[in-house]
């Protein structure tokens, strides 16, 4: 299995010079961008709701393997913008559409890499939901495709376009809490049991083989469809790779880390529930660098937490950074900086917008026009590292031991079982290619 281009080379390209101005057609500053949304479940519908509010963006097409989702999407666009977009079931046919400049992808995780690579090869710019890849190998191939075909590829980690989080990260960079020795990511998000459901014939209007794509063929099961695909290894990455990847991205941002850790260990399990879910609902991961550490915790069960991120009740989702002079907590509603031995509140900032998705999509469309990769707030190589940390934690959890990373070989040290989980066996013809 090749993991080229290497992590170091990939990350060096984040700040590279502006790319060629070639695109499927040259866009001027005032031109309207024709966009297609692929995968129209809950998050894909959110994409449509955002793009239909942006004046210089035209929703030209929608794509989904589910006919009912297609019909809902067409009705939404027609209601808001007064036109009917083209409709596709197979994204490969959409990529042949010369009228489409860019695609916004909200498919299940196991489709993210291949759909992005195909889109880049077809000359489309890409907004891709997180995690950008389903495994470590795929992230490198996505970066290679973006570079080879000179595409703008933005990851859907909207914290990078959220004003109060940008401000909080700047405070950390400027030394507001001294030397940072630990970042902690928290994903205490309530997840009820999915229960057990039998396999059944595929419902009318759903192309189940296309839904599975790169994953193994299995009988249709309602628990493996719609949102619950997150909790199966074939298609998802558990909550650390779902909600958690947002907080992982912020943790790495605040720490200033863009390389793999020296070691990782993750423990936990699927506790309390007896259901079909494969991924853990309780997970604790620790990543060591030698001079600092990153700790990440996932919990889908009832969690009556207290502390800087738990005072509002309900879910606790955010980050805490620990420094020699204080600590800083940040979540979707704001940030709080505490200083000194008495832990006095020294500064706080509140969110101006409830969700940074609109600003993040506007940033993507700006880069589509400018053809400047550095204009992107979450260029694909930046999120590959955050996604990979989630994958490392899951690999450690699945093999049941602490893993040491060999930076020179870009493999685990003397652990063939763990190395095998850096990629997957693909179902033809849905294969992420070694040469993009």
Does residue 371 belong to any structural domain of this protein?
yes
Q: Which residues contact 384 (CB under 8 A, 6 or more apart)?
A: 10, 132, 133, 139, 140, 142, 143
Does residue 200 belong to any structural domain of this protein?
no
> Residue 171: which H helix or E strand, with range?
helix 163-173
Does residue 223 belong to any structural domain of this protein?
no
Does residue 205 belong to any structural domain of this protein?
no
pTM score, two decimals? 0.92
Residue 18, pLDDT score: 34
Does residue 414 belong to any structural domain of this protein?
no
Range(s) of the domain holding residue 30: 7-160+356-379
Residue 412, pLDDT score: 97
Residue 354, pLDDT score: 64
**Domain holding 82: CATH number?**
3.40.50.720
Block mean pLDDT (10 aa), the chain, length 436: 46 38 48 96 95 95 98 97 97 97 98 98 98 98 98 97 96 97 96 97 98 98 97 98 97 96 97 98 97 96 75 80 97 94 92 84 97 97 96 98 94 97 98 96
Does residue 144 belong to any structural domain of this protein?
yes
Does residue 11 belong to any structural domain of this protein?
yes
Residue 347, pLDDT score: 95
How many domains in the chain?
A: 1
Q: List Cα–Cα distances, 298 to 193, 257, 259, 287, in angstroms.
A: 15, 21, 22, 15
Does residue 388 belong to any structural domain of this protein?
no
Measure the CA–CA gap between 189 and 69, rounded to whole angstroms: 26
Residue 87, pLDDT score: 98
């Amino acid at each position: 299995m090749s993991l080229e281009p290497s992590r170091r080379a990939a990350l060096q390209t984040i700040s590279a010079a502006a790319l060629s101005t070639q695109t499927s057609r040259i866009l001027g500053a005032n031109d309207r961008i024709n966009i297609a949304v692929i995968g129209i479940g809950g998050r894909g519908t959110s994409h449509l709701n955002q793009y239909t509010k942006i004046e210089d963006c035209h929703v030209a097409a929608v794509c989904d393997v589910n006919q009912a989702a297609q019909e809902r999407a067409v009705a939404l666009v027609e209601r808001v913008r007064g036109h009917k977009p083209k409709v596709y079931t197979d994204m490969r046919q959409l990529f042949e559409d010369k009228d489409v400049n860019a695609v916004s992808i909200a498919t299940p995780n196991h489709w993210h890499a291949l759909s992005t690579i195909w889109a880049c090869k077809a000359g489309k710019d890409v907004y891709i939901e997180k995690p950008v890849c389903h495994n470590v190998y795929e992230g490198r191939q996505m970066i290679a495709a973006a570079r080879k075909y000179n595409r703008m590829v933005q990851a859907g980690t909207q914290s990078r376009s959220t004003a109060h989080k940008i401000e909080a990260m700047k405070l950390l960079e400027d030394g507001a809490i001294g030397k940072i020795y630990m970042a902690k990511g928290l994903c205490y998000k309530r997840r009820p049991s999915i229960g057990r459901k039998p396999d059944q014939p595929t419902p009318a209007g759903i192309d189940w083989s296309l839904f599975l794509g790169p994953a193994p063929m299995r009988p249709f099961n309602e628990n493996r469809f719609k949102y619950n695909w997150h909790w199966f290894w074939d298609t998802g990455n558990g909550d650390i790779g779902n909600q958690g990847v947002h907080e992982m991205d912020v943790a790495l941002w605040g720490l200033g880390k863009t390389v793999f850790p020296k070691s990782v260990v993750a423990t936990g399990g699927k506790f309390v529930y007896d259901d079909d879910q494969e991924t853990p609902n309780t997970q604790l991961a620790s990543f060591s660098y030698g001079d600092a550490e990153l700790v990440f915790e996932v919990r889908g069960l009832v969690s009556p937490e207290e502390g800087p991120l738990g005072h509002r009740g309900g879910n606790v989702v955010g980050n805490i950074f620990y420094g020699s002079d204080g600590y800083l907590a940040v979540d979707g509603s704001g940030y709080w900086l505490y200083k000194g031995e008495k832990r006095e509140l020294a500064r706080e900032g509140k969110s101006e917008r409830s969700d940074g998705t609109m600003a993040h999509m506007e940033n993507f469309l700006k880069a589509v026009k400018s053809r400047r990769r550095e204009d992107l707030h979450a260029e694909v190589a930046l999120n590959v590292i955050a996604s990979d940390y989630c994958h490392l934690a899951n690999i450690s959890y699945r093999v049941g031991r602490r893993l040491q990373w060999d930076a020179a070989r870009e493999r685990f040290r003397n652990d063939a079982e763990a190395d095998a989980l850096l990629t997957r066996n693909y179902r033809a013809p849905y294969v992420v290619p070694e040469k993009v």
